[in-house]
């Protein structure tokens, strides 16, 4: 053992391998990504109790207090056997946000359930008039004793139909500038006053939703980061979301369509220089983005936002669109076909359409460029005449 009572990387690797060998069996495949099966929940309970779910968390909150470099060993061993549930300290948006910003009560009430997926969450941020400019949200939360009464409308909310809780951005003060009058809550979704309406996406799926909120309630103990600090709290949650989206894009429903190399080989064009050069270029982009994301996470403290995450998300958007264009080129005229009789072409078209999800979700490509320009490159901000005036006086669209 080291002087910090942490194991060496080799010791930890051997421990995790032995534990996985003794405990892990592949889980049944889920047909709904927004619902966790009893088998998955039971497995996540075991991972959490073993200390592998959030190894960088403090020991009092299910972690081991490991540094990122040591915790990475756990993620590597889980990935090697395709076992889920480890390293949620990298990607579990609600759990990581409430650990960083939540009251003791909300952590005691919800942290474990979020980590084992007994409770699922959605993100109530965007509104019909506040998408790219989230600081202009008009959903209101008004204090009523030890709770807040919420009214408004949200849109583009993934998983809202089945979510138990939501991370809710709402306006709690109209008499200060827009960024200073916001608060971030954990709000129960299964309560009167919340109506969820699915939206049909370009892919034919309905993962996104409109959410109408009429006199719903959020507990004051479930306010994250304090009243009026919602914008800063939101940046923490968004950093985790952008980190996830920068790491990987949604894959294909068909293994051959998902691999550029395999798709090119199957279509007899892997040796074509006109295909090999752009193929190598996009694979290099993926590797570079992986290294950039690792650098960003290594430099970010737990519970802080990182503008570097915007680089990864923007790069992944470019990668997905480039790959989709390449796959269309490889498949050729078959890309005009669709349906179950043409599974490879159907999936290539699915990937082409679904690439726009990463271009929009978690902040559009244009917003990421603004963030990179202002916070990474130090360029001057774009003019915003409403930024320093009370939101009540701001222009209404």
Q: What is the pLDDT of residues 25-34, one digit of tens each?
A: 999 988 788 8
pLDDT for 131 equals: 77
**How confident is residue 303, by pLDDT bands cut at 50, 70 and 90?**
very low
For the chain, the structural domain boundaries read 9-89, 121-232, 236-376
Write the pLDDT tens digit of every residue in 48-77: 999 999 999 999 999 999 999 999 999 999
Task: Average the pLDDT over 330-349 and give the result.
Answer: 89
* Top-confidence residue, 156 or 363: 156
For range 221-234, the mean pLDDT: 95
For the residues of 282-323, what is the DSSP string, one character each? HHHHHHHHHHHHHHHHHHSPTT---THHHHHHHHHHHHHHHH
d(CA 199, CA 356): 16
Backbone angles phi and psi of 144, in degrees to 5: -140, 85
Is 315 or 241 the better-scoring residue by pLDDT?
315
Per-residue pLDDT for 160 more than 50? Answer: yes
6 has pLDDT over 90: yes
Candidate from 151-160, 249-258, 291-300, 386-395 with smallest mean pLDDT: 249-258
Structure-derived torsion over alpha carbons of residues 329, 278, 290, 346, reported in degrees to the nearest 10: 10
Q: How confident is the model at residue 212 (pLDDT cuts 50, 70, 90)?
A: very high
CATH architecture of 121-232: Beta Barrel (2.40)
Q: Is 88 exposed, middle or buried (0-12, 13-18, 19+ CB in 10 A)?
A: buried
Between 296 and 365, residue with greater pLDDT: 365
pLDDT over 80 (residue 397): no
Encode burial over 196-209: b for 16+ CB neighbours within 10 A, e otherwise. Answer: beeeeeebeeebbb
Residue 3 is predicted with a pLDDT of 42
Greatest mean pLDDT among 109-118, 226-235, 294-303 lies in: 109-118
* For range 145-168, the mean pLDDT: 96
For residue 291, give both structure tokens.
């290294």
Residue 134 tokens read as 């989230």
Indicate which residues carry an active-site annotation: 241
Q: Closest Cα to residue 164, out of 222, 220, 99, 227?
A: 222
Q: What is the mean pLDDT of residues 105-112?
A: 97
Radius of gyration for the chain, computed over Cα atoms and rounded to the nearest angstrom: 22
pLDDT of 210 > 50? The answer is yes
Q: In whole angstroms, give the CA distance from residue 358 to residue 76.
A: 25
Q: What is the mean pLDDT of residues 252-259?
A: 58
Residue 83 pLDDT > 80:
yes
- CATH class name, domain 236-376: mainly alpha
pLDDT for 306 equals 62
With a cut of 70, say whether residue 381 has pLDDT above it: yes
pLDDT confidence of residue 1:
40
Mean pLDDT value of segment 91-97 = 94
- Average pLDDT in the chain: 89
pLDDT value for 245: 66
Share of the chain above pLDDT 70, in %: 91
């Amino acid at each position: 053992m080291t002087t910090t009572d942490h194991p060496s990387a080799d010791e930890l690797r051997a421990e995790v391998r032995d534990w996985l060998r003794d405990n892990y069996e592949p889980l049944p495949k889920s047909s709904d990504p927004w619902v966790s099966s009893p088998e998955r929940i039971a497995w996540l309970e075991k991972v959490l109790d073993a200390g592998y779910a959030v190894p960088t968390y403090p020991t009092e909150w299910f972690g081991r207090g490991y540094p990122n470099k040591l915790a990475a060993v756990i993620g590597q061993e889980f990935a090697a056997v395709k076992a889920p549930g480890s390293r949620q300290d990298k990607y579990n948006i609600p759990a990581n946000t409430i650990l960083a910003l939540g009251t003791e009560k909300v952590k005691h009430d919800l942290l474990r359930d979020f980590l084992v997926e007994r409770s699922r969450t959605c993100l109530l941020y965007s509104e019909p008039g506040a998408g790219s400019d989230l600081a202009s949200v008009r959903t209101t939360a008004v204090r009523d004793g030890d709770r807040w009464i919420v009214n408004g409308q949200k849109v583009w909310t993934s998983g809202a139909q089945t979510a138990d809780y939501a991370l809710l951005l709402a306006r709690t003060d109209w008499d200060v500038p827009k960024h200073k009058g916001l608060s971030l809550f954990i709000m129960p979704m299964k309560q009167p006053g919340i109506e969820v309406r699915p939206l049909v996406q370009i892919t034919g799926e309905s993962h996104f939703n409109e959410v109408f909120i009429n006199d719903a309630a959020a507990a004051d103990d479930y306010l994250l980061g304090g009243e009026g600090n919602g914008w800063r709290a939101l940046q923490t949650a968004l950093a985790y979301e952008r980190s996830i989206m920068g790491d990987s894009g949604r894959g294909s429903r068909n293994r051959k369509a998902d691999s550029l190399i395999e798709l090119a080989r199957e279509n007899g064009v892997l040796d074509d220089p006109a295909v090999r050069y752009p193929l190598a270029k996009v694979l290099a982009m993926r590797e570079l983005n992986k290294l950039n994301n690792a650098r960003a996470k290594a430099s970010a403290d737990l519970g802080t936002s990182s503008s570097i995450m915007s680089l990864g998300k923007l790069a992944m958007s470019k990668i997905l669109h480039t790959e989709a264009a390449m796959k269309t080129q490889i498949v050729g005229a078959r890309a005009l076909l669709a349906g179950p009789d043409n599974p490879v072409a159907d999936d290539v078209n699915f990937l082409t359409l679904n690439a726009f999800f990463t271009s929009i979700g978690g902040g559009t490509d244009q917003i990421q460029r603004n963030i990179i320009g202002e916070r990474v490159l130090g360029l001057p901000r774009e003019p915003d005449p409403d930024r320093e005036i009370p939101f009540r006086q701001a222009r209404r669209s």
